[in-house]
Structure 1
Amino acid sequence: MEELISLLGHRVRLVDLTHRLGPSPSEPVPPWLEAQTHEEGAEVWEGMFGIPRGALPGGRGFAGEMLHRLSTHAGTHVDAPWHYAPTAGGAPAATIDRVPLSWCVGDLVVVDVSDLPTGHLIGRDEVVERLAGIAPDLQAGAVVAFYTGAERLWGDEKFWETGCGLGREAVLALLERGVRTIGTDAWSLDRPYPLIGAEWQQRRDPAALWPAHFAGIEQPYLQIEKLANLTAVPAIGATILAFPIKVECGSGAWTRAVALVAEPGER
């Protein structure tokens, strides 16, 4: 979805970076959405207040939804430092309701790594090299998002098995430059979980277990996972807004991530 609006005197294009939140084969534990129809909404008011259907416009009440078995990590969402561990940088890790809002907005830098094979572990040198060709003057506070190509399989059960992921050193290289939020179009900023699980059975190497997530024990940072439409925004020049829902003491929360792209002549 794209729209044009005027913002602070500038024309910008809005690019929706968010997947719909609902049942999907791409979610190993899919949400269950129970819809309440307008007719059922009328029954609610009659049961609660004795208001007959005939008193309502068209005999209908309000539509609604109940979401059951809904993980805070379903759909496009933000991971809080608390998700990775109880401490971050030697201090108590922030839950999603306590993360700085300033970390959820910033200059968006999109790094295309879709040429790398599924399961590839992105290292420090690869991140530094690719950023040098896109944003050599990367500013502190920028949000760096990796396009792995996994998004193309959204809606397919193979989605969570697809894409490359960041290693510990790659994450720390970004944090050292003042990045506080890292995104991906894949199911996780780490390599696919089924691959990590299979490798554990063979190698039993603790260092290979979710190195991107556990890098957050050393320095706090946010992840935005399952981003959409990263190919619809330029590598640099856009602004991202990805404010999470304020789930009390949550390890993560859903977001309606949006990119603001300046129209030609507006930068």
Structure 2
Amino acid sequence: MGKHKIVDLAVMTDPASCEPEKVEFERIYHEDGARQAAGFFGLDQSDFPDGMLWANGSVKLGEHTGTHLDAPIHYAPISEGKPSRTIDQIPLEWCFGDGVVLDFHDKPTGYAITELDIIAELKRIDYKLKPGDIVLIRTDADQYLYDERYFSIHAGMSAEATRFLCQNGIRVMGIDAWGWDIPFSFLVEKYKETGDNSVLWEAHLVGKEFEYCHIEKLANLKLLPATGFKVAVFPVKLKGGTAGWCRPVAIFETE
């Protein structure tokens, strides 16, 4: 096996981030670990070397907090006419493939990326999609992780653009923004203007027609070329989960 360069594509899971669903940590430090073990085994803290033992902790967070892979069950109960799969049922083969970055970082907040935008960007980078590719949508919104606007300051995907990717055999796609759709405030405004409820969460709801997963809250897409690397994005095996936390990476062969 040759040498590889790895690029981290996850945001930090951090209580200080501006996630709507906050992360909560409870830490047990080494002195606490010694006291805890002493209680378990009838010893004194001083019996342990330097009065210390294990560090430990617990974390409280939502399934969609931090970088995560959405399962089809998140979008709707039925996908392609069958019960939607949960995150523990996703084929792992979907989660490793050739990476493709489509660059839309110049699009304004609330802009819905269209099918024609996708086609034009593929033409610009001279690439033809193939089944098994993992397509990453660059908006550069990851820079706002610690900004109160993080939830609402990004471009997003339209239903037609999502459908186009699915029709080209893409099972896993992702975005470096809080969500796959445009911010919900824009969707609600569009609904109020038109009375058409199909615009509410329209890109996610393509999952009714096509069984696919998308990654939300990616990071560092600006560090990647358009093609020429692999993506690995294996989710936590969470029983019945609507999503799974993940640490996606881009992998480059250097030899």
Q: TM-score range by the shorter chain?
A: over 0.9
Q: Which SS does the other structure have where 2:3 is aligned?
A: strand
Deviation at 1:231, TM superposition (A): 1.2
Gaps of 5+ in 1: 1-7
Q: 1:25 to 1:196 in 2, by over 3 A?
A: farther
Q: Does 1:192 align with 2:200?
A: no
Correspondence for 1:106: 97
Deviation at 1:202, TM superposition (A): 4.3
Q: Does 1:235 align with 2:242?
A: no
Give the whole-Å Cα distance in 1 for the aligned partners of 2:73 and 2:16.
26
Give the whole-Å Cα distance in 1 for the aligned partners of 2:69 and 2:86.
11
Which one of 153, 170, 184 corresponds to residue 179 of structure 1? 170
Q: Does 1:17 align with 2:9?
A: yes
Partner amino acid for 2:153?
Answer: T
Deviates more, 1:108-117 or 1:201-210: 201-210
1:78-104 Cα shifts (integer Å, max 9, x gaps): 000010011111111110000010111
Q: Does 1:50 align with 2:42?
A: yes
Deviation at 1:198, TM superposition (A): 3.9
Deviation at 1:201, TM superposition (A): 4.2
Deviation at 1:173, TM superposition (A): 0.7
Give the whole-Å Cα distance in 1 for the aligned partners of 2:62 and 2:209.
26
Partner amino acid for 2:11?
Answer: H
Deviation at 1:13, TM superposition (A): 0.7
Q: 1:135 to 1:141 in 2, by over 3 A?
A: farther
Gaps of 5+ in 2: none
Give the whole-Å Cα distance in 2 for the aligned partners of 1:176 and 1:135.
19
Correspondence for 1:215: 206
Give the whole-Å Cα distance in 1 for the aligned partners of 2:180 and 2:123.
21
1:7-46 Cα shifts (integer Å, max 9, x gaps): x2x2221101111212134201211111111111112111
Give the whole-Å Cα distance in 1 for the aligned partners of 2:28 and 2:15.
16
Correspondence for 1:125: 116
Give the whole-Å Cα distance in 1 for the aligned partners of 2:169 and 2:58.
40
Give the whole-Å Cα distance in 1 for the aligned partners of 2:190 and 2:37.
55
Structure 1 moving runs of 4+ over 3 Å: 197-204
Q: Which SS does the other structure have where 1:211 is aligned?
A: coil
Correspondence for 1:39: 31
Q: 1:187 to 1:18 in 2, by over 3 A?
A: same
Which one of 67, 70, 82 corresponds to residue 79 of structure 1? 70
Give the whole-Å Cα distance in 1 for the aligned partners of 2:52 and 2:189.
53
Q: Which SS does the other structure have where 1:102 is aligned?
A: helix
Deviates more, 1:129-138 or 1:71-80: 129-138
Length, aligned pairs only: 255
Q: How does 1:237-252 map to 2 (within 5 A)?
A: 237-252=228-243
Q: 1:23 to 1:47 in 2, by over 3 A?
A: same
TM score, norm. by length of structure 1: 0.91
Correspondence for 2:155: 164
Give the whole-Å Cα distance in 2 for the aligned partners of 1:204 and 1:45.
61
Q: Which SS does the other structure have where 1:67 is aligned?
A: strand
